[in-house]
Amino acid sequence: MLNVLARARISRVLDPIGAALARAGVSPDVVTVAGTVGVLIGSLGFVARGELLIGTLIVTISVLTDMLDGAIARARGTSSKWGAFLDSTMDRIADGAAFGSLAFWLAIEGRKSAAAAALLCLVAGVIVSYAKARAEGLGLRCDVGIAERSERLIIAGVGALLEIAGVPYGLEVVLWLLTALAVFTVGQRVHVVWQQTHRPAAVEQADRP
């Protein structure tokens, strides 16, 4: 949802930066991988040890940096299926590292409910992304969702800030809320795909030999 509403504004900020990096010969693939490496460092090196402040800062900067790859590709006019594949794959690795590290630290701290919520956030987030990828692979549209990747990362960041500020149960509540939103998003995408595959024209075409 945020991607659709804020895409024009974000592009106005990122496109000039992307154009400058493209002129400097920076590859969008390099930026994609670098952003993921940054998330891995912030997550595995700091979040997993409970150092949420610096970990969240590194992850946030890395995610913002990763958003530049599309701007560079547009400036170079080299958008490709490979770039889309690499970007999606790196996103899954980054999400796994972030929520997995958080779940690990919470489990070590004996906060079982919060750790379970973090794991469910990870699983639900993967399903959200898979549902869209599978639908598009079948030639269907699936651009819906109240909690896409951008929203999930922002909400998780809010939870980390609440934890840093010492708000009781703040992180746990946010993680359970995020889980619920992700599950709802899966439902939205399943519903949209169901509608497209059960339209009279689609059913008639599927029944043809």
Q: Known catalytic residues?
A: 91
Task: Report the candidate in 89, 154, 174 with the shortest Cα–Cα distance to residue 126.
Answer: 89
How far is Cα 87 from Cα 78, in angstroms, rounded to an integer? 14
- Degrees to nearest 5, angle at CA 75 with 56 and 130: 50
**Residues ≥6 apart with Cβ < 8 Å to 8:** none
Task: Report the candidate in 101, 99, 124, 120 with the shortest Cα–Cα distance to residue 187.
Answer: 124
Q: How far is CA 141 from CA 6, 106, 136, 186, 189, in A?
A: 20, 37, 6, 14, 9
Rounded to 10 degrees, the C-alpha dihedral 127/130/131/133 comes to 160
